[in-house]
Structure 1
Amino acid sequence: MLSIKYGNCKDYTPPMIEGVSASKVFLPQSAIQPYTVFEYLCEHFQHIQITEWQQRFEDQLILDMQGHALTVNSIYQANTHIYYYRFLAHEIHVPFDEKIIFENDDLLVVDKPHFLTMSPTGQYVQQTLLVRLKRTTDNPNLTPIHRLDRETAGVVLFSKRPETRGIYQQMFADRLVEKTYHAIAPFRPDLTFPQSVHLRMEKGEPFYTMQVIAGKNNSHTEIEILEHNEHWAKYCLKPLTGKQHQLRVHLNYLNIPIKNDPFYPSVIHKPEHDFSQPLQLLAKEINFKDPISLRPMHFCSDLDLTL
């Protein structure tokens, strides 16, 4: 059982446990009121097995507003809230390490490895970049300012303080950040580079993929070749927009899908413990003027892709 120090104040903030922050759930007033908190959670989160909720109560991972551990028999109190922690009984270890490459009062800049999901979701909690970093830095306020796909490696920025987080997020929203990616994909001598790719992208099928459709363009990438051999080329990609899977979709549209891409041109379901063929896409560099210090900032991944 995990040991937690409980508070008793009205503005209680639950502590991190092994890098995991507590989730907050409001208990609403309803016509058919559940008798216990346990009943409500089982009904409200039906995708989570009842036995898993039972285990969380047993491990004292469900807390009231004051930080007191609840039990499966704790009475449901409408118009209050509770906290709960999420841990997985079995989680696949990602055998690659992240590296902190810069840190100041506001920012943490990290070199993310392939196969590491950014934040807790689905079958990953401890084996996510955010939880690993929270555990390493003991900073519960860490928040990604932008994101990389699980399959993509490279430079990513985290906010360390809520007070300045919005300033950096706005910098990305205003497209004041220059990002440079490298990718390994087939070499096609009939294609001319450099070139600009402008496409309209929308959600595809399956829902976690994107597709190109007719209509007004909403994605733009500048592409050039850095080097090539007879079969493969190393491409430099500069996205001017930030659509999901944009670089992967744009290269696939040119009929040069990124090497080892499990989604494009078709979805390939690989075992979760198979780390043998990382997607050959790397967030290599990031440049911006710091909105607080006004100094130019440039960060480069220590990782590299080779033909």
Structure 2
Amino acid sequence: MTTLLITDSFDSSWQPFFRRQIKARMGRASRSGEEIRTWMLADSTMEACTPDVNEVVDAVKRQKRNADCIAETASEDTLSEKRRKLNEEEDRKQINECSSGADTYRKVIVNDPYSEMPSNVPFHIKNGIRYLDAYWTTYCTRTKGRWIGRKLVDVFQEEFLSQHPNYAMAACKLGRLFVNERQMTDTDYVFKNNDAIVHVAHRHEHPILAKPIEFIENNDDLLVVNKPPSMPVHACGQYRLHTVMGLLHTEHNITGLRVLHRLDRTTSGVLIFAKNYESDLEFKEALKSGELHKEYVCKVEGVFPGNGEEVICEEPIGSLVLTMGIQCVRNDGKPARTRFKRLWSDGKISVVKCFLDTGRTHQIRVHLQYLGFPIVDDELYNTDVWGPQRGKNAEYGKSYEELCKDITAAHRSSLWHETIDPGYEERMQKFADGEVQAEPEDLRMEDRPDYDPICLGCNVTKRNASPSHFMLHLHCLKYETSKWSFSTRLPEWAIEPKNDVS
């Protein structure tokens, strides 16, 4: 049995955070069959969040947590597989709970993190681009396997490339990092298994194209939309409100969704969400059985081979840059199979249909790169960093380690930040050198200023983004099973121009 200690005496601005943490903990326990007991520590037993009281409560929490924690040494892939199986078991359990004789109903999705997103954040639209004002928020996560045994500040520097190298040091000294609900000001702290991490940060979301989310189908079981390019499906990096799920919540008041498949940020097209556990499970079973038919269309460089005949690529795909999700063709990768069929070509570019028989990350983009016909303007897989042949036939002219390092360096140089304020650099260096003895800040979110002295986004001049940053010429055209079929029209760039007849 695990014991959760709950108090109502924390600063009111932090109560929503602790409610979310408890809600998530109860959800994990439900999926794993773990028994949970809760203790409420009311104001009559505690003073309002004084450091001494916090030390006592934290000590009890750590003791309970250490007693309940089971060290997991399995690989991240194994852990992901365990989580997937637990989710599927939970779905079946939810479905069985909903059955009563001949009558059944479908239980809606619960524990939706988007139900407590920031609301009413101001934005403006300029030249077709939607800009969101900066706002204060919290990032919540748990230690990944590769973080365990490493210093907190080192993980920040390596994993979060968009932050200043000395940001973690400054944030830690200012008390903006929490580990297991304790304000962590120790810059030498080493991550342990299952640490719960919270980061209070000034968030600058990247702009997106001001395009609406088109609804294809909206019934009791599924929501199907035509995703615009430029926005991620769910929160990641510098995106949270500027995501499909974020905008569905803030603009359409739709929550309680499960993403059934992913589309990259710059990819457009068919995107399907489940509204209940049974629909989620049905989709997964169709995916496992091979019944699911997936069809994409893209624009590539050069004259793609074939005149209506299929070109098949079956090269294995594996991870190259884990922190960026970059993949490549490699012998130790996972099996992957894509079928291509040229629709038309003008002698310089070709529009090609793609049929996915497997679903690896960036599979279409990686296979097209391998074939020597990369997607036009693909900022990840169509650059010189992949070697003279730009990755054709997996000939990179360098080792995987060198390629990984070069891609990471190229990514850093292509970030939005153009000119950094010299005063900011000096200020951050003083934090790193220990010249600044900062006191932990007040925790009240509503009292925080619009300007943050250690926030990189507040201290730079930003360059205008290129069109390729917002859009990739890759579109999900159709998802289909024996029970349903959802599709969109061809995007304008995929339609063959008509020859003028004079």
For normalisation by structure 1, the TM-score amounts to: 0.70
Q: Which residue of 2 aligns with 1:17?
A: 117
CA distance in 2, matches of 1:227, 1:297: 25
Pair 1:227-2:355 in alignment: no
Instruction: Verify the 8 A CA contact 2:209 2:229 in the aligned structure 1.
Output: no
2:488 maps to which of 290, 300, 303: 300
Name 2:265's counterpart in structure 1.
150
Match of 2:477 in 1: 284
1:282 CA drift (Å): 0.8
Offset, 1:260: 0.7
Match of 1:95 in 2: 209
Secondary structure (helix, strand or coil) at the match of 2:337 reads strand
1:178 offset after TM fit, Å? 0.9
C-alpha displacement of 1:287 = 1.3
Q: Distance in 1 between matches of 2:118 and 2:377?
A: 33
Distance 2:492 2:301 in 1: 17
Give the Cα–Cα distance (whole angstroms) in 2 for the partners of residues 88 and 125 of structure 1. Answer: 13
SS of match in other structure, 1:199:
coil
| 8 Å contact from structure 1 (residues 184, 234) kept in 2 | yes
What are the within-5 Å matches in structure 2 for residues 29-40 of structure 1? none
Structure 1 stretch 212-221 or stretch 235-244: which is displaced more?
212-221
- Hey, what's the Cα distance between the residues in 2 that align with 1:282 and 1:152? 6
One-letter amino acid of the structure 2 residue matched with residue 90 of structure 1: H
Supply the distance in 1 between the matched residues of 2:311 and 2:258 (Cα, whole angstroms): 35
Is contact 2:299–2:473 with CA below 8 Å preserved after alignment?
Answer: yes
Query: Out of 264, 267, 290, which is 2:381 matched to?
Result: 264
1:26-105 counterparts in 2 under 5 A?
49=168, 88-97=202-211, 98-105=213-220
Distance 1:90 1:22, change over 3 A: closer
Matched, 1:175 2:368: no
**Structure 2 unaligned regions, length at least 5:** 1-11, 24-110, 120-136, 144-151, 158-166, 185-194, 386-409, 417-463, 497-502
The verdict on how the C-alpha distance between 1:190 and 1:169 changes in structure 2, with shifts beyond 3 A counting, is closer
What is the letter of the counterpart of residue 93 of structure 1?
P
Classify the secondary structure of the residue corresponding to 1:283: strand
Higher radius of gyration, 1 or 2: 2
Assess, with a 3 A threshold, how the Cα gap between structure 1 residues 235 and 21 changes in structure 2: closer, same or farther.
farther
Letter in 1 for 2:360: K
The whole-number CA distance in structure 1 between the counterparts of 2:354 and 2:415 is 29
Asked whether 1:106 is paired with 2:218, we answer no
Structure 1 counterpart of 2:315: 199
Secondary structure of the equivalent of 2:343?
Answer: strand
Matches of 2:202 and 2:273, distance apart in 1: 24
Amino acid paired to 1:165: D
For the residue of structure 2 that corresponds to 1:305, the secondary structure is helix
Deviation of the 1:141 alpha carbon: 1.4
Secondary structure, counterpart of 2:358 in structure 1: coil
For the 8 Å contact 1:183–1:305, the answer to whether it is kept is no
Identity of aligned residues (%): 21
- Quote the offset at 1:227 in angstroms: 0.9
Cα drift, residue 123 of structure 1: 1.4
Q: Determine which structure has the larger helix proportion and give its number.
A: 2
Change (3 A) 1:102 1:305: same
**Which whole-Å deviations, capped at 9, do the CAs of 1:67-103 have from their partners, x for residues lacking one?**
xxx999xxxxxxxx99979775321221232222211
Q: In 2 relative to 1, CA 205–221 (structure 1 residues): closer, same or farther, beyond 3 Å?
A: same
Deviation at 1:284, TM superposition (A): 1.3
Flag the 1:24–1:215 CA change in 2: closer, same or farther, 3 A. Answer: closer
Q: Output the amino acid matched with 1:262.
A: E
Distance apart, 1:185 and its partner CA: 0.8
For 1:255, the equivalent position in structure 2 comes to: 372
**1:300, distance to aligned residue in structure 2 (A):** 1.9
1:265 to partner: Cα distance = 3.8
Aligned to 1:124: 239
Query: Which residues of structure 1 form unaligned runs of 5+?
Result: 27-41, 58-63, 65-69, 73-80, 290-294
Note the C-alpha offset of 1:271. 4.4
User: How far does residue 187 in structure 1 lie from its aligned partner after superposition?
Assistant: 3.0
Contact 2:478–2:485, Cα closer than 8 Å, also in 1: no
Would the aligned equivalents of 2:338 and 2:355 in 1 still touch at CA under 8 Å?
yes
How far apart in 2 are the matches of 1:104 and 1:166? 17
Distance 1:161 1:186 in 2: 42
Q: CA deviation at 1:52?
A: 6.6
Q: TM-score, normalised by structure 2?
A: 0.45
1-structure distance, mates of 2:282, 2:199: 29
Contact 1:187/1:232 (CA < 8 Å) preserved in 2? yes
- Offset of 1:5 from its aligned partner? 9.6
2:106 corresponding residue in structure 1: none
For 1:186, the equivalent position in structure 2 comes to 301
**Corresponding residue for residue 292 of structure 1:** none
Counterpart position of 2:53: none
How far has the Cα of 1:110 moved from its partner? 1.2
Kindly provide the amino acid, as one letter, of the partner of residue 239 in structure 1: L
CA RMSD in angstroms comes to 4.2
After superposition, give the CA deviation of every residue in 1:199-224 in whole Å (9 maximum; x if it has no partner): 11111247522111236871111111
Quick check: 2:248–2:255 contact (8 Å CA) kept in 1? no
* Distance in 1 separating the partners of 2:253 and 2:328: 40
Residue identity matched to 2:207: H
- Which one of the candidate residues 359, 362, 384 is aligned to 1:245? 362
Aligned residues of 1:139 and 1:160 also touching (Cα < 8 A): no
In 1, Cα distance between equivalents of 2:208 and 2:291 = 33
Deviation at 1:23, TM superposition (A): 5.3
